[in-house]
Structure 1
Amino acid sequence: MSEASNRRLVYSCTLPVRWGDMDAFGHVNNAMYLRYLEEARVQMLVAMLGNQITEGDFATVVINVGCTFLKPITYPDSVRIDCYAGELGRSSFMTWYEVVALSAPEQMASEGYAKVVWMDRRSGKSAPLPEHIIKAVTG
Structure 2
Amino acid sequence: MKEIHHTTVALRWGDMDQIGHVNNTVYFRCFEQARVEWIDLFPEHADHNPAYVVIVHTECSFLKELKAPGVVAIKVFAGDMGRSSLVQHYEMRRTDAPDVLVATGSAKMVWVDPATSRSTSIPDRFKTAL
Which structure shows the higher helix fraction? 1
The secondary structure found in structure 2 opposite 1:87 is: strand
CA contact (8 A) 1:57 1:122 kept: no
- Between the aligned partners of 2:128 and 2:12, the Cα distance in structure 1 is 35
Distance in 2, matches of 1:105 and 1:25, equals 24
User: Shift in Å at residue 132 of structure 1?
Assistant: 2.1
Match of 2:116 in 1: 123
Q: Residues 1-139 of structure 1 correspond to what in structure 2 (within 5 A)?
A: 7-47=1-41, 49-50=42-43, 57-137=50-130
Count of aligned residue pairs for this structure pair: 128
Q: Distance in 1 between matches of 2:35 and 2:55?
A: 10
TM normalised by structure 1 equals 0.86
SS of the aligned residue for 2:55 comes to strand
Q: Secondary structure at the match of 2:32?
A: helix
Corresponding residue of 1:3 = none
TM-score by length of 2: 0.92
- Percentage identity across aligned positions? 35
Q: 1 or 2, which has the higher strand percentage?
A: 2
Deviation sequence 1:11-41 (CA, Å, 0-9, x none): 0001100100001111100111111111111
The runs of at least 4 consecutive aligned structure 1 residues that moved more than 3 Å come to none
SS at 1:90's partner residue? coil
Work out whether residues 91 and 117 of structure 1, in 8 Å CA contact, stay in contact via their aligned partners in 2. yes
Shift of 1:107: 0.9
